[in-house]
């Protein structure tokens, strides 16, 4: 069924000519009732093609996430040169080992309302993986190559009066990605019906050339199709109250240019993400033809030599993370509740910025960042003309790069969260004169489309870019890792600041600890896990503390984007040749969204509103009695005392003797004995201020459930994430439990997915059974449209079951 979202605006303006006005624009989300099949089907574009046997799906949809995982999928025998590899080896799981490769078709009958002769119809696709070819009634009406970009097609002239058949063909080549790209119509598809006299698609540009505490100048440029039209623009505050209204006086060709003052504006920032809305109404005489609402923020950004980055006049450093686009067990299919949960977890950590590595972000993610307060680095490409993977973006670079950037900027430019663009990540074009020209060409396209934001490139070939001029020409020189070259780059480059566009790439598995605890890179173990003592990294990367030193000691470093906020599907370094590893170990939180220990290390410095006191490892080491079992504490306090079974193991205080000693409290020589390990944080006078402890648990006895949200919306899309853990008979968390659990959801919702964060697990995300990993997993429940109570029942052998009730309301 089509969902109609007609915009009936009650205009809060004084002139009675506008009262009772009904806007002419209708947006229809094409989310339900699609027919889908994998395969080539040469005649599937034809209107009378029989798709009855095809699966009925709703969009956003990722056809590959159901699996099964298979080692042979996209097996790549290659040397990953950007990782410094010289010899080719067999890489399994590089793209997640899920069946994304091949062709797929989506078909849908468009039941349009009866159109008036003066109406236009646009079809907008927010991203389709990949190479979408769009057919209407058998005719190819539009196409795009890059799976991550937004594009729209004017289908007005190809529509019949009824019975319109839409068919979309997608094709994913093998060896086309370095991570799990997903497959299908994984973002939203919209139909926009509007008067021919109306605002052009993406035709409004709102900027705030002056954004001071006392007043702001809001500049609104509006491209309108149609002669002799009148444009009235209102500004509404966050409560919906009109604070300004202006009728456009200056038109330049088809573009109206308005400057509207706001006195004492609420400035947008991550801490106070205040949003205004502009309402653009287009009139032909007194007839209202179109209304478009645009949310914007009043904020000022600046990047200055030896001062760095400032927001609203205040210098600050990005406390950012890089994110790939998948949502763990949901795959790449966009879901607002899943995105909001990710951002909520990051916000609690104190994170204030996101980099959409290495492609265009979803519109939903940007909307949430505007609302929740995250600055955004919106990236475009992982490849330019030179290849990283055989069938990567280099195939399209020459023909498509410009139009891809144009659409990125046009579709997203009004989001206050975006504070920087990136034209590329570690592109092999960093070498050679052609690459320098490409960097300049791309940056100029961004400047032409948006003169208000700077452009960066994430550079890993820092020495080459220092010599060639590549780094010098960028607005913002971004360094990926290479902390040892920050000083040289700062000296060589003219900008007067450096961004840590990608940092850390420390690897760890939630709840897994390896002994002895020594710093090292590319470490591998028999179980294909990495240690959560956070001392392991890659040959090209480093530990979080090494970045902290740069951030704290160099005023010209403008912040960092940690690789990555969450584990993602694919790229299982350091186990990319070790099946069954199929997802990353880089995340600060795991694939299920559960925080690893590292989460608290970042929180201890980033979250300034809540004290952090976190102790690791867990204290269930049967068999290690008497053996050295170091204890780390990640804390916002400077010092703390550790006690094992009541006996003091001494006070540690942060000092500058090493990066680790500066940011962690470490007791390296603790001898394991079961019992209670307690840490007491001390204030600057040595007085105890906060405690945390871990206890040795007995056998798992009982299942415990906690939901991130106990009330959700009955819209068939909203999600509740239930964390499942087990406790012993005394209620102590069992940190090593691996019990196989079964899930049953009844009532007004359905079981959607499950994930335990184990990068080596081949259990399906979509079957209602899974093993605990390090004592935990997360079940995702989705609401239906009826509403009511939803029960999740979790059972396991010899365990007391867990039951939780979620309320879903309209
Ligand atoms: C970077 C790259 C990322 C990811 C990361 C892993 O070099 O930009 O996409 O591969 O390494 O450490």
pLDDT digits (tens, 9 = 90+) for 717-761: 999 999 999 999 999 999 999 999 999 999 999 999 999 999 999
pLDDT band at 271; cut points 50, 70, 90? very high
641 is catalytic: no
| The predicted structure's pLDDT at residue 359 | 98
**Helix, strand, coil percentages, rounded to 5, for the chain:** 15, 40, 45
Q: What pLDDT was estimated at residue 14?
A: 31
Q: Which of 131, 383, 449, 502 is catalytic?
A: 502
pLDDT digit string (tens) for 620-662? Answer: 999 999 999 999 999 999 999 999 999 999 999 999 999 999 9
Q: So what's the pLDDT on residue 707?
A: 98
Who lines ligand 1 at CB under 6 A?
Answer: 82, 357, 425-426, 460, 480, 502, 505, 538, 541, 563, 571, 573
Whether 533 is in a domain gets the answer no
Pocket of ligand 1, candidates 94, 321, 571, 574: which has the most ligand atoms within 8 Å of its Cβ, to mutate?
571
Q: Are 137 and 157 found together in one domain?
A: yes
Same domain, 237 and 154: yes
Asked whether residue 14 is domain-assigned, the answer is: no
Indicate which residue of 426, 536, 560, 641 is catalytic: 426
Using alpha carbons only, give the angle 280, 285, 291 rounded to the nearest 5 degrees: 20
Give the pLDDT of residue 659. 98
Question: Residue 262 forms beta bridges with which residues?
Answer: 216
Domain boundary among the residues 640, 666, 695 is at 695
Q: Which of 540, 456, 520 minimizes the C-alpha distance to 493? A: 456
**pLDDT of 565:** 98
Residues 6 or more apart whose Cβ sits within 8 Å of residue 190: 27, 28, 29, 30, 122, 123, 124, 125, 126
The residues that bridge with 459 in the sheet, in sequence order, are 479
Q: Contact at 8 Å (CB) between 203 and 223?
A: yes
Q: How far is the CA of 742 from the centre of ligand 1 (A)?
A: 36
* Count of domains observed in the chain: 4
pLDDT band at 20 (very low <50, low <70, confident <90, very high): very low
Asked if the structure places residue 67 within a domain, the reply is no
Q: Do 648 and 715 lie in a common domain?
A: no
Tokens of 443: 């940056």
Q: 105 C-alpha to center of ligand 1: Å? A: 32
Pocket probe for ligand 1: among 177, 563, 568, 587, the residue whose CB has the most ligand atoms within 8 Å is: 563
Radius of gyration of the CA atoms of the chain, in A: 27
The pLDDT score that the predictor gives to residue 297 is 98
Name 261's Cβ contacts closer than 8 Å, sequence gap at least 6. 215, 216, 217, 218, 244
Q: Is residue 272 part of a domain?
A: yes
- CATH number of the CATH domain containing 769: 2.60.40.10
CA separation, residue 131 to residues 172, 381, 396 (Å): 7, 16, 11
| CB-based burial label for 239 (10 Å; 0-12, 13-18, 19+) | exposed
Pocket test for ligand 1, best of 388, 505, 561 (most atoms within 8 A of CB): 505
Find the largest Cα–Cα distance for the chain: 87
pLDDT given for residue 19 in this prediction = 33
Q: Look at residue 80 in the predicted model and tell me its pLDDT.
A: 86
| pLDDT single digits (tens) 558-605 | 999 999 999 999 999 999 999 999 999 999 999 999 999 999 999 999
Residues 678 and 707 in one domain: no
- Tens-digit pLDDT profile for residues 274-293: 999 999 999 999 999 999 99
Task: Locate the DSSP E strands across 609-755.
Answer: 613-616, 631-635, 639-644, 647-653, 665-667, 676-682, 688-695, 702-707, 711-713, 719-727, 740-747, 749-755
322 CA distance to ligand 1 middle (Å) = 10
The reported pLDDT for the residue numbered 82 is 78
Whether residue 481 is predicted with pLDDT greater than 50 in this model: the reply is yes
Given a cut of 80, whether residue 12 has pLDDT beyond it is no
Instruction: Report the C-alpha gap between 510 and 532 in whole angstroms.
Output: 6
**Which atom of ligand 1 lies at the shortest distance from residue 82's CA?**
7
pLDDT in tens, 111-154: 898 899 999 999 999 999 999 999 999 999 999 999 999 999 99
CATH number of the domain at 132, please: 2.60.120.260
What is the end-to-end Cα distance of the chain in Å, rounded? Answer: 19
- Both 454 and 550 in a single domain? yes
Pair 679, 708 in one domain? no
Ligand 1 atom index nearest CA of 83: 7
- Inside any domain, residue 472: yes
What spacing in Å lies between the alpha carbon of 506 and ligand 1's midpoint? Answer: 11
Q: How far is the CA of 360 from the CAs of 101, 174, 333, 371, 522, in angstroms?
A: 21, 21, 15, 19, 30
Query: What does the mean pLDDT of the chain come to?
Result: 96
Q: How far is the centre of ligand 1, averaged over its atoms, from the C-alpha of 741 (Å)?
A: 34
Measuring from atom 4 of ligand 1, which residue has the nearest CA?
A: 563
Q: Which of 326, 380, 502 to mutate to test the pocket of ligand 1 (most atoms within 8 A of CB)?
A: 502
What is the reported pLDDT for 1?
35
Question: Considering the domain boundaries, does residue 512 fall inside one?
Answer: no
Q: Which helix (H) or strand (E) holds 45?
A: none
For ligand 1, atom 3: residue with the closest CA: 563
Task: Please give the torsion angle defined by the CA atoms of residues 368, 374, 377 and 382, in that order, rounded to the nearest 10 degrees.
Answer: -60
d(CA 100, CA 582): 14
Alpha helices in 196-254 (DSSP H): none
- Report which of 240, 238, 247, 292 is spatially closest to residue 265, judged by C-alpha positions: 238
**Residue 411's pLDDT is what?**
98
Is 50 exceeded by the pLDDT of residue 221? Answer: yes
Give kind and range of the element (H or E) at residue 112: none
Cα–ligand 1 centroid distance for 428 (angstroms): 13
pLDDT above 80 (res 676): yes
* CA-proximal residue: ligand 1, atom 6 (nearest): 505
Is 768 found in the same domain as 619? Answer: no
Residue 793 belongs to domain spanning: 702-809
Helix (H) or strand (E) holding 2: none
Say how many Å lie between the CA of residue 504 and the centre of ligand 1.
Answer: 10
Strands 418-425, 375-379: pairing is parallel
The contacts of residue 476 (CB under 8 Å, 6+ apart) are 303, 420, 454, 455, 456, 495, 497, 499, 558
Rounded to an integer, what distance in angstroms lies between the CA atom of residue 740 and that of residue 796? 6
Q: What is the 8-class DSSP label of residue 174?
A: T
Per the CB < 8 A criterion, the answer to whether 494 and 470 are in contact is: no
Is residue 235 located within the same domain as residue 366?
no
pLDDT beyond 60 at 7: no
Position 11 pLDDT exceeds 80: no
502 carries an active-site annotation: yes
In a domain, 522, yes or no: no
Task: Give the mean model confidence (pLDDT) for residues 32-58.
Answer: 98
What is the whole-number distance in angstroms between the Cα of residue 588 and the centre of ligand 1? 15
Query: Is 370 found in the same domain as 481?
Result: yes
Which ligand 1 atom sits closest to the C-alpha of 541? 12
| 454-479 mean pLDDT | 98
Which atom of ligand 1 is closest in space to residue 458's alpha carbon? 8
Tokens of 788: 């009511």
The answer to whether residues 766 and 790 belong to one domain is: yes
Encoded tokens for 762: 């081949």
Please report the pLDDT score of residue 306 as a whole number: 87
- 706 CA distance to ligand 1 centroid (A)? 34
Q: How confident is the model at residue 441 (pLDDT cuts 50, 70, 90)?
A: very high
What six digits make up the tokens of 201?
């698609």
4 pLDDT band (50/70/90 cuts)? Answer: very low
CA of 205 to the centre of ligand 1 (A): 34
Residue 166 sits in the same domain as residue 235: yes
Token pair belonging to 338: 């899943």
Q: Stretch 409-415: mean pLDDT, rounded?
A: 98
Measured distance CA(32)–CA(58) in Å, rounded:
4
- CATH code for the domain of 385: 3.20.20.80
What per-residue confidence (pLDDT) applies to 482?
A: 97
Residue 602 located in a structural domain:
no
d(CA 744, CA 769): 9
pLDDT digits (tens, 9 = 90+) for 696-726: 999 999 999 999 999 999 999 999 999 999 9
Q: Whose CA is nearest to atom 12 of ligand 1?
A: 505
Element (H, E) at 366: helix 363-372
Over 50: is that where the pLDDT of 520 sits? yes
The last residue of a domain, from among 642, 665, 695: 695
Ligand 1 nearest atom to the CA of residue 358, by list position = 9
Percent of the chain at pLDDT above 90? Answer: 94
Mean pLDDT of 613-626: 98
Segment 487-500 shows an average pLDDT of: 98
Are 559 and 635 contained in the same domain?
A: no
pTM confidence score: 0.96
């Amino acid at each position: 069924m089509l969902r109609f979202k007609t915009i009936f605006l009650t205009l809060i303006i004084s002139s009675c000519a506008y009262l009772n006005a009904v806007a002419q624009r209708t947006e229809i989300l094409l989310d339900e009732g699609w027919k889908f099949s994998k395969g080539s089907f040469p005649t599937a574009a034809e209107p009378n093609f029989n798709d009855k046997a095809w699966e009925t799906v709703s969009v956003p949809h990722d056809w590959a996430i159901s699996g099964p995982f298979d080692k042979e999928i996209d097996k790549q025998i290659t040397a990953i040169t950007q990782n410094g590899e010289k010899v080719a080896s067999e890489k399994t799981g590089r793209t997640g080992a899920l069946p994304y490769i091949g062709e797929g078709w989506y078909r849908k009958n468009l039941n349009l309302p009866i159109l008036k002769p003066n109406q236009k119809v646009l079809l907008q696709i927010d991203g389709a993986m990949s190479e979408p070819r769009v057919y209407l009634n058998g005719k190819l009406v539009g196409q795009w190559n890059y799976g991550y970009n937004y594009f729209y097609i004017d289908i007005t002239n190809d529509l019949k009066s009824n019975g319109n058949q839409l068919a979309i063909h997608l094709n994913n080549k093998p060896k086309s990605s370095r991570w799990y790209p997903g497959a299908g119509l994984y973002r939203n598809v919209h139909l926009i019906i509007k008067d021919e006299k109306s605002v052009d698609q993406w035709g409004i540009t709102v900027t705030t050339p002056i954004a001071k505490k006392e007043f702001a100048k809001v500049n609104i440029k509006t491209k309108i199709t149609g002669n002799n039209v009148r444009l009235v623009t209102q500004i509404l505050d966050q409560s919906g109250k009109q604070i300004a209204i202006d009728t456009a006086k200056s038109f330049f060709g088809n573009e109206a240019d308005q400057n509207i003052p706001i006195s004492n504006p609420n400035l947008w920032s991550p801490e106070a993400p205040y949003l205004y809305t502009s309402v653009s109404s287009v009139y032909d005489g007194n007839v209202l033809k179109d209304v478009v609402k645009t949310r914007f923020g009043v904020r000022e950004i600046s990047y200055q030599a030896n001062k760095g980055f400032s927001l609203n006049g205040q210098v600050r450093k990005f406390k950012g993370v890089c994110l790939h686009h998948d949502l763990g067990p949901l795959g790449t299919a966009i879901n607002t509740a899943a995105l909001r949960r990710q951002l909520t977890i990051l916000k609690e950590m104190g994170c204030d910025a996101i980099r959409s590595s290495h492609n265009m972000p979803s519109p939903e993610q940007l909307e949430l960042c505007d609302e929740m307060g995250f600055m955004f680095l919106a990236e475009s490409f992982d490849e330019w003309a030179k290849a990283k993977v055989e069938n990567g973006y280099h195939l399209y670079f020459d023909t498509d790069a410009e139009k891809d950037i144009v659409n990125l900027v046009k579709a997203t430019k009004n989001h206050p969260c975006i504070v920087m663009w990136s034209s590329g990540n570690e592109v092999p074009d960093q070498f050679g004169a052609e690459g320098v020209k490409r960097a300049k060409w791309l940056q100029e396209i961004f400047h032409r489309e948006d003169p208000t934001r700077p452009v960066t490139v994430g550079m890993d070939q820092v020495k080459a870019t220092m010599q060639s001029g590549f780094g010098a020409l960028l607005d913002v020189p971004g360094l990926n890792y290479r902390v040892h070259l920050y000083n040289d780059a700062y000296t060589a480059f003219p900008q007067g600041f450096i961004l840590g566009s990608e940092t850390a790439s420390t690897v760890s598995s939630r709840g897994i600890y390896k002994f002895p605890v020594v710093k090292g890179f590319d470490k591998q173990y028999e179980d294909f896990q990495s240690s959560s003592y956070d001392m392991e990294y890659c040959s090209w990367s480093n530990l979080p503390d090494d970045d902290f030193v740069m951030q704290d000691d160099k005023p010209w470093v403008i912040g960092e984007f940690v690789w990555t906020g969450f584990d993602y599907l694919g790229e299982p370094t350091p186990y990319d040749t070790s099946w069954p590893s199929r997802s990353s170990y880089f995340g600060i939180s795991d694939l299920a969204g559960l925080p690893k220990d590292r989460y608290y290390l970042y929180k201890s410095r980033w979250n300034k509103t809540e004290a952090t006191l976190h102790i690791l490892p867990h204290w269930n080491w049967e068999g290690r009695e008497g053996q050295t079992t170091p204890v780390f504490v990640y804390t916002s306090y400077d010092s703390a005392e550790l006690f094992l079974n009541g006996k003091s193991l001494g006070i540690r205080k942060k000092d500058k003797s090493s990066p680790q000693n500066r940011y962690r409290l470490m007791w390296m020589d603790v001898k394991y004995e079961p019992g209670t390990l307690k840490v007491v944080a001390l204030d600057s006078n040595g007085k105890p201020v906060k405690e945390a402890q871990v206890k040795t648990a007995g056998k798992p006895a009982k299942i415990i459930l906690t939901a991130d949200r106990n009330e959700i919306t009955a819209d068939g899309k909203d999600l509740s994430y239930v964390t499942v853990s087990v406790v012993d008979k005394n209620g102590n968390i069992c940190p090593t439990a691996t019990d196989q659990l079964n899930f049953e959801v009844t009532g007004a919702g359905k079981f959607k997915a499950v994930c335990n964060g184990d990068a080596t697990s081949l259990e399906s995300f979509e079957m209602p059974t899974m093993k605990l990993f390090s004592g935990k997993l997360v079940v995702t429940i989705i609401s239906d449209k009826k509403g009511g109570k939803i029960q999740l029942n979790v059972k396991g052998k010899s365990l007391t079951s867990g039951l939780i009730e979620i309320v879903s309301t309209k």
